[in-house]
Copies of this chain bind each other. A is one copy, B any other.
């Protein structure tokens, strides 16, 4: 039986990256795309709880169905698994290809990675793909063979429960693939203050990413800076096991 592959993203259904990902996956299996009906960048693992969500089929052909969803990337995955995949789970969830990197701490904010993590929670093999290029017309052609190769390998080998892959890809032709850890970094200087015509302030989120360990060569940031594809195995258990003994000794 051909694998069934679910696809979503956070840039929305009209983004170039999700079309490239769909085209890359069609040779590997039957594809169902459930994409947000507009941009959902920075939505993390947000879910829609106070309003209902719409799901609407926009395209169907042999081996391919496309739906648009009014919710967040995680809503797309939840709706797909609960409404479209009632009898059979997808064999693979792939997300992206995101326009812009989701390396280091950006994994926390990314809607693309939120969707990937949602697949993982539901025991679906899940991979999030991002390209270090924010442009709407970014060129993805140099990374497509790697996107396919990683997906095929995951379908063949599987992943342990609770682990998904965060794949970030350089703008330049990749020298190869590095298995990495998430670099210690953060976004700083994040707001621009403007005033409305009544003199009331409002703030635009902006900022610069700082890699706190630029010298470390085992991180996703190092790999990207050196034109490698960074693959970080990412887990849903956020427990800091190494701190449990110390906290226990506090005798709270």
B-contacting residues of A (Cβ < 8 Å)? 39, 41-50, 52-56, 74-75, 78-79, 82-83, 105, 107-109, 111, 114, 117, 121-122, 149-150, 153, 157, 159-160, 162-163, 177, 179, 181-182, 184, 186, 189-191, 193-194, 200-205, 231-241, 243-244, 247-248, 250, 252
* Bound-state Cα–Cα, A168 to B7, Å: 34
Residues in B neighbouring A193, C-beta threshold 8 A = 83
Instruction: Report A102 CB to chain B, min CB distance, Å.
Output: 12
Residues in B neighbouring A243, C-beta threshold 8 A = 159-160, 163, 233, 235
Residues in B neighbouring A74, C-beta threshold 8 A = 44, 109
Contact across chains for A153 and B233 when beta carbons are under 8 A apart: no
**Within the oligomer, what is the number of copies of this chain?**
2
Contact across chains for B238 and A107 when beta carbons are under 8 A apart: yes
Contact across chains for B179 and A247 when beta carbons are under 8 A apart: yes
* Bound-state Cα–Cα, A55 to B196, Å: 13
Nearest-CB residue, chain B, relative to A177 = B252
* Bound-state Cα–Cα, A250 to B156, Å: 11
* Bound-state Cα–Cα, A40 to B189, Å: 24
Cross-chain contact of A236 among B41, B105, B150 (Cβ < 8 A): B105
Contact across chains for B105 and A163 when beta carbons are under 8 A apart: no
Contact across chains for B78 and A205 when beta carbons are under 8 A apart: yes
Given that A122-B186, A181-B237, A232-B239 are known contacts, is A42 also in contact with B48, CB under 8 Å in the complex?
A: yes
Contact across chains for A241 and B181 when beta carbons are under 8 A apart: yes
Contact across chains for B52 and A194 when beta carbons are under 8 A apart: yes
Given that A179-B244, A184-B237, A244-B181 are known contacts, is A105 also in contact with B121, CB under 8 Å in the complex?
A: yes
Given that A55-B201, A78-B190, A203-B52 are known contacts, is A153 also in contact with B108, CB under 8 Å in the complex?
A: no
Given contact pairs A54-B201, A83-B203, a sample of 17 additional A-B residue pairs in the complex whose CB atoms are under 8 Å apart:
A41-B49, A41-B50, A43-B44, A44-B44, A44-B74, A46-B46, A49-B205, A52-B194, A52-B203, A53-B203, A55-B203, A74-B109, A105-B236, A153-B250, A179-B248, A184-B237, A234-B240
